[in-house]
Amino acid sequence: MATRRKLIVGNWKMNGRLTSGLNLAKEIANRAIESMPLEFDVALCPPATLLWPISEALMGSPVMLGAQDCHYANHGAYTGDISAGMLADLGCRYVILGHSERRAAYEETGALIAKKVAAAQLAGLVTIVCVGETLEQRATGTTETAIVQQLSSSLPEKFHSSQLVVAYEPVWAIGSGDVPETDEVSSIHRLIRRSLGAMGEAVQVIYGGSVVPHNARDLLEQHEIDGVLVGGASLNSDGFWSIAEKAR
């Protein structure tokens, strides 16, 4: 049976200013330093404006840095965008791609996300690719088909499994307080692994959607759940660290 390290990722979304963001990152870095050596991996994904100051603040701590999106091109005339190479340059290790908020608000397609995954992996980043069913797909019993389709269309033809994390994030669970049963999550994670073929056992598959301190242990105890992607609850250092510690 494959042993995979647990990964705890904080997705701050569009939250945090210079002072508040730095304080939050420093508090988490200090918790991590006190708990060293860490038996699990921790990454923070602040908004792009905070990547560089937080990169500096995390130096000397085991907490890693991630971004919330990137462009597929390496450089060029793309006003307002940020390339994967630029993120790597700032010290990012991870990038979240295909989050449902971006798929919905910016109509990001699987084809576009696949191009971003290829570019980010080329830049040396670990890509956290998000997939998840809507409430309607769940209600009509098409969850499994939707997940398999989303995942296969969001991955480029060639990718490195060592630079891939899949985040299963049911759209209806994000920010709603509703969380699927752990058995359901495990079964979707098994489906994701199967659909990745031979490499599936080695790929970290994490869960996201309304993870809070009181439901984190149940989730993180499951063999199939290799970590959590935390939105709202990652904005408070006590709450976030209490979730992370459940991965011990």
CB of 176 to ligand PEP, least distance (A): 7
Which one of 118, 185, 211, 225 is in contact with ligand PEP (CB under 6 A)? 211
Provide the residue type at 245 as one letter. E
Which residues, in sequence order, are bridge partners of residue 122? none
HSE-CB at 114 with a 13 A cutoff on CA atoms is 14
66 counts as binding ligand PEP under rule CB under 6 A: no
Q: What backbone phi and psi angles, to 5 degrees, belong to 236?
A: -130, 125
Using CB under 6 A, which residues numbered 173 to 192 contact ligand PEP? 174-175
d(CA 233, CA 242): 10
- Nearest 5°: phi and psi at 121? -70, -35
Stretch that binds ligand PEP, among 23-31, 65-73, 223-231, 240-248 (CB under 6 A): 223-231
For residues 15 and 197, give the distance between their C-alpha atoms in angstroms, rounded to a whole number. Answer: 37
Which of the 8 DSSP states describes residue 193?
H
Residue 13: CB minimum distance to ligand PEP, A: 7
169 is catalytic: yes
Question: Taking the complex as a whole, how short is the minimal distance between the CB of residue 55 and ligand PEP, in angstroms?
Answer: 21
Residue 160 appears among annotated catalytic residues: no
Compose the 7-46 pattern: x for residues touching ligand PEP by CB under 6 A, - for all others.
----x-----------------------------------
3-class SS of residue 66 = strand
The region of 106-114, 116-124, 189-197, 203-211 touching ligand PEP under the rule CB under 6 A is: 203-211
Determine which one of 101, 133, 169, 245 is catalytic: 169
Considering only residues 108 to 147 of the shown chain, the ones binding ligand PEP according to CB under 6 A are: none
Per CB under 6 A, does 210 bind ligand PEP? yes
Among residues 109, 116, 23, 39, the alpha carbon closest in space to that of 73 is found at 116
Report d(CA 133, CA 7) in Å as an integer. Answer: 22
Interface region with ligand PEP, contact rule CB under 6 A, candidates 66-74, 112-120, 150-158, 227-235: 227-235
Q: What are phi and psi of 171, to 5 degrees?
A: -60, -35
Q: Among all chains, which residue has been given the structure tokens 């330093």?
A: 33
Question: Count residues contacting ligand PEP (CB under 6 A)?
Answer: 13
Question: With respect to ligand PEP, which residue has the nearer C-beta, 85 or 97?
Answer: 97
Q: Does 98 bind ligand PEP (CB under 6 A)?
A: no
Q: What is the DSSP letter of 44?
A: E
Measure the CA–CA gap between 193 and 210, rounded to whole angstroms: 23
Interaction of residue 208 with ligand PEP, rule CB under 6 A: yes
Q: Which residues are catalytic?
A: 99, 169
Per CB under 6 A, residues contacting ligand PEP are: 11, 169, 174-175, 208-211, 229-233
